[in-house]
Copies of this chain bind each other. A is one copy, B any other.
């Protein structure tokens, strides 16, 4: 079984199913199954990313895969010199915010980090200074796609990728974003609805996709709420030429998602997520819990702009992760988690999606033919 759109032609893949994951095993498994795995680089140092991509190269059987970096178009401190970036940004975090976080953790009995804990290597995940070395590492590998999760990538990064024959994708949550991305040379637009996990806009996938498809000439992938073949067929009916998925890979056998998070996701309904600035300062859909509620509550000092919010909370999130305070442990998750209640292999998720897709398209045909 193969499907054919401009996207399958562009990448030489059998199935226009893109799988975003921070886990190399998932990336390789989806690419081997005929789709395209895309590794989220955010949490990796350049050295770690090098190791992850080397592993994928060795396990992907020559199939194409991609890398996703986060280069925000705007963030606090963009003008600071790299060597003083951290200290100057740290100085911008108000004491009241630090106290709010400490009080919240104390209220839930979360202990401080032990002294030998790795000191917050991901502090600056959402800055150009962090993303650029990741891009350089990625382009030394035979990747087929470089994706940017926060708007249009810098024009010189697009050129760098194109010079190596690497296609560039960017996530858009409005048709206006999509047009801007195509103007800087993006080859594929990922139109992502508000129901998606992680950084996300306000417009739903159902409303957004046709608007983006009509606004740009490049192929569009539908993202947000895509978990099965009916949703894949819906996304393609809306005009997309493929789908971009994320949350559904959190619970597959291959995923290195912490057990607690996995069990939370398997038990969650689609109402258990919330669009919140409490993770990075920009709105992102997260698992709703006492952490996200606290930042919405009457005592909240309000969130800080990117990247200050994550600098403020990253240690707290690590402390929570090592504690028993499961009620505070949040992470990016889309509304689709309400339909995920079984652990399967990544390969089975891909094949079941295709099977359900074919069934849905056949059913649609029957409605008008009969």
A residues whose Cβ falls under 8 Å from a Cβ of B = 1, 3-5, 174, 193-195, 201-211, 224-228, 230-231, 233-239, 269-271, 334-336, 338-339, 358, 360-361, 363-365, 367-368, 370
Contact = CB atoms under 8 A, between A and B. Distances in A.
A193 B271 CA distance: 12
B237 A210 contact: no
B365 A361 contact: yes
Contact of A338 (B195, B201, B207): B207
Contact of A239 (B230, B358, B370): B230
B206 A204 contact: yes
Count of identical protomers in the assembly: 2
Contact of A358 (B202, B203, B209, B368): B368
A270 B364 contact: no
A193 B202 contact: no
A231 B225 contact: no
The residue among A203, A339, A365 with the most chain B CB atoms within 10 A of its own CB is A203
Nearest to A357: B368
Contact of A210 (B201, B230, B361, B364): B230
A124 B139 CA distance: 64
Nearest to A273: B202
11 contacts: A4-B370, A195-B204, A202-B335, A207-B231, A207-B335, A211-B338, A233-B364, A236-B363, A237-B363, A361-B365, A361-B368
B4 A270 contact: no
Contacts of A227: 207
Given A4-B367, A194-B204, A204-B194, A210 B238 contact: no
A206 B208 contact: no
A77 B193 CA distance: 39
B336 A207 contact: yes
Enumerate the 7 nearest inter-chain pairs by beta-carbon distance, A residue then B residue, closest first: A206-B225, A234-B234, A233-B237, A195-B204, A207-B225, A234-B237, A207-B335
A1 to B, nearest CB: 8
Contact of A237 (B201, B239, B360): B360
Contacts of A224: 204, 206
B206 A234 contact: yes
Nearest to A4: B370
A224 B224 CA distance: 15
Contacts of A231: 206-207, 210, 238
Nearest to A354: B368
Of A4, A194, A195, A226, which is in contact with the most chain B CB atoms at under 10 Å from its CB?
A195
A368 B335 contact: no
A193 B208 contact: no
Nearest to A195: B204
Contacts of A239: 230, 360
A80 to B, nearest CB: 31
A153 to B, nearest CB: 23
A203 B335 contact: yes
A269 B1 CA distance: 39
A271 B203 contact: yes
Contacts of A1: 368
Most buried by B among A270, A339, A370: A270
B202 A204 contact: no
Contact of A361 (B228, B269, B339, B364): B364
Contacts of A3: 367-368
A237 B361 CA distance: 7
